[in-house]
């Protein structure tokens, strides 16, 4: 266990004035007493949405409770009992991305639970202790299910947050649609083995563009989520002053967007940011865009309407520092994992007989017949006819601190996600990243990024969040005992 002294030392070295959490490292495997303070039933199903435009054919999408990008909000400290009901005609599961929780509720078949069959249910018991912007999605056939829209937003509110004049949630997702509103193939070998198979119909909250208003001189909190399966976005703001105030839900001392390279925050699939936008006191609208592509996707316009009641403020509004287990970076055990294109030699096969229950669960949880293109630490979570659960990348001890280097030797960026933890992003070999906590970190080609965390008990997957990459090998797991 971490001593209080070690925690203080790590906190001082951290230098962001984070509040030190008690040395709680995780959660018991089976929490004896869980008294829900909120209950929820969340049903996956199909619904129609006009994604191509009001006068074009509708598309059949997957959604929770029939609501595209279903949004949940709970105060911090809520004990949420969420019953997932699978109303799809295929097996599925529910994963709350970024939430620290007991491993058994993580929603990853076949590692933490069986697949939820059509009509089946699964009860998740979630302690919502970390405030922030989170999301949820299935954890099987992700390109198929999340690709058809099965994604929701979970906001955990912190009563200690500063009061903003307005708040907006912006969920960015592209769709692979044909003229008739039906789907183009959601994955193709050329995409899966490279940067991914991109959608051309770009949306924010299911619309091509959002027209919003906010008081002139006012302070707006923007919660921006990249819930796309594939696309990496360069989020920028024009016409107003903006600060990055949280990454993946976790607060950091405000960073002026203008002070970052190119004035953008690069965000891969699954990553979220909270921006504090200060509306100009006079003058025109503010636009939000993805500046990565040659043709900028401007996804929202915020027009001043009325005037902020008080005087416009000067300094940015910082969120309270996160209360997370603080890794002891000095004493941490070090591991390095390389992201690579998988060669056959790198594919470790277990060769399970096809009627083995584990093999069946694996077949059900990923699409059969996919190739294996990627590896982490020379191991692929193989798909297709090479199915087999790989051995854990590393066995860890609960409560110990770990420092993990992720080296990208491929030609493509990869947003790497670890379940069940919020990790500290310590450094990028390109000097690109401010120190922050996150659950997903983008690793550029040729870059090495170092993260550190205090291990929480369970079997936790560690994977690329470009969904085709994870489904074709770029996934491993840590066993923490
Ligand atoms: Cu957003 Cu393994 O998940
Ligand atoms: Cu990837």
> Does the interface predicted TM-score (ipTM) exceed 0.85?
yes
Residues 279 and 415 both lie in one domain = no
What was the pLDDT predicted at 361? 61
Retrieve residue 184's tokens. Answer: 């183009």
Please give the pLDDT value at position 170. 98
pTM: 0.90
Residue 365: per-residue pLDDT? 54
> What pLDDT, on the 0 to 100 scale, is given for residue 6?
33
Domain interval for residue 370: 333-480
pLDDT value at residue 189 = 87
The answer to whether 86 and 120 are in contact (CB under 8 A) is: yes
Nearest Cα to Cα of residue 330 among 254, 255, 224, 403: 403
**Looking at 114, 133, 157, which one is the last position of a domain?**
157
By DSSP bridging, strand 219-226 and strand 233-238 are: unpaired
Instruction: Give pLDDT tens digits for 315-342.
Output: 999 999 999 999 999 999 999 999 998 8
Give the model confidence (pLDDT) of 6-18 as tens digits: 333 333 332 322 3
CA distances from 290 to 14, 151, 206, 276, 295 (A): 31, 20, 16, 17, 9
Same domain, 123 and 178: no
**Total number of domains constituting the chain:** 3
Q: How confident is the model at residue 29 (pLDDT cuts 50, 70, 90)?
A: very low
Q: Where are the beta strands (DSSP E) in 342-455?
A: 374-376, 394-396, 401-408, 414-418, 423-428, 436-438, 440-443, 448-454
Measured from the Cα of 463, ligand 1's closest atom is 2
- What is the number of the ligand 1 atom nearest to the C-alpha of 137? 1
The three-state secondary structure class of 122 is strand
The CATH number that applies at residue 54 is: 2.60.40.420
pLDDT digits (tens, 9 = 90+) for 138-176: 998 899 999 999 999 999 999 999 999 999 999 999 999
Claim to verify: residue 173 and residue 302 sit in the same structural domain: yes
373 shares a domain with 426: yes
Q: Is 167 exposed, middle or buried (0-12, 13-18, 19+ CB in 10 A)?
A: middle
pLDDT at residue 118, rounded to an integer: 96
In a shared domain, residues 295 and 399? no
Q: Could you tell me the distance, in angstroms and rounded to a whole number, from the CA of residue 226 to the centre of ligand 1?
A: 13
Residues at CB less than 6 angstroms from ligand 1: 95, 97, 137, 139, 270, 417, 419, 461, 463, 465
Same domain for 180 and 128?
no
Cα(414) to centroid(ligand 2), Å: 4
């Amino acid at each position: 266990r971490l001593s209080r002294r070690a925690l203080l030392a790590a906190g001082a070295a951290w230098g962001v004035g984070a509040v030190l959490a008690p040395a709680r490292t995780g959660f018991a495997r089976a929490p004896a007493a869980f008294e829900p303070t909120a209950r929820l039933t969340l049903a996956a199903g199909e619904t129609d949405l006009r994604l191509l435009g009001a006068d074009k054919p509708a598309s059949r999408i997957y959604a929770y409770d029939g609501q595209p990008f279903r949004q949940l909000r709970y105060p911090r400290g809520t004990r949420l009992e969420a019953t997932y009901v699978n109303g799809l005609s295929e097996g599925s599961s529910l994963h709350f991305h970024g939430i620290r929780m007991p491993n058994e509720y993580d929603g990853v078949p076949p590692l933490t639970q069986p697949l939820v069959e059509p009509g089946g249910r699964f009860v998740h018991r979630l302690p919502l202790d970390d405030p922030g912007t989170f999301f949820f999605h299935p954890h099987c056939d992700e390109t198929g299910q999340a690709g058809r829209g099965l994604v929701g937003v979970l906001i955990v509110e912190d009563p200690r947050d500063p009061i903003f004049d307005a708040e907006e949630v912006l969920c960015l997702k592209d769709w692979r649609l044909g003229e008739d509103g039906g789907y183009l193939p959601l994955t193709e070998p050329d995409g899966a083995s490279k940067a991914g198979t991109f959608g051309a119909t770009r949306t924010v909250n299911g619309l091509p563009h959002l027209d919003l208003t906010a008081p002139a001189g006012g302070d707006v909190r923007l919660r921006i989520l990249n819930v796309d399966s594939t696309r990496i976005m360069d989020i920028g703001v024009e016409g107003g002053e903006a600060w990055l105030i949280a990454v993946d839900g976790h607060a950091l001392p405000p960073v002026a967007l203008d002070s970052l390279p190119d004035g953008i925050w690069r965000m891969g699939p699954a990553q979220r940011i909270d921006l504090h936008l200060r509306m100009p006191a006079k003058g025109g609208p503010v636009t939000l865009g993805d500046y990565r592509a040659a043709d900028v996707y401007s996804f929202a316009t915020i027009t001043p309407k009325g005037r902020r009641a008080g005087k416009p403020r000067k300094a940015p509004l910082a969120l309270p520092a996160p209360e997370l287990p603080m890794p002891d970076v000095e004493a941490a055990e070090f591991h390095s994992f390389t992201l690579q294109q998988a060669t056959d030699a790198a594919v470790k096969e277990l060769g399970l007989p096809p009627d083995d229950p584990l093999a069946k669960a694996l077949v059900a949880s990923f699409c059969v017949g996919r190739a294996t293109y990627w590896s982490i630490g020379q191991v692929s979570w193989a798909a297709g006819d090479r199915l087999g659960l790989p051995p854990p990348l590393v066995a860890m001890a609960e409560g110990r601190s770990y420092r993990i280097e992720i080296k990208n030797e491929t030609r493509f960026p990869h947003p790497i996600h670890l379940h069940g933890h919020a990790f500290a992003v310590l450094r990028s070999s390109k000097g690109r990243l401010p120190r922050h906590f996150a659950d997903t970190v983008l690793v550029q080609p040729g870059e090495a990024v170092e993260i550190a965390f205090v291990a929480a008990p369970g079997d936790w997957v560690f994977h690329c969040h470009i969904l085709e990459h994870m489904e074709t090998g770029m996934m491993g797991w840590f066993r923490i005992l």
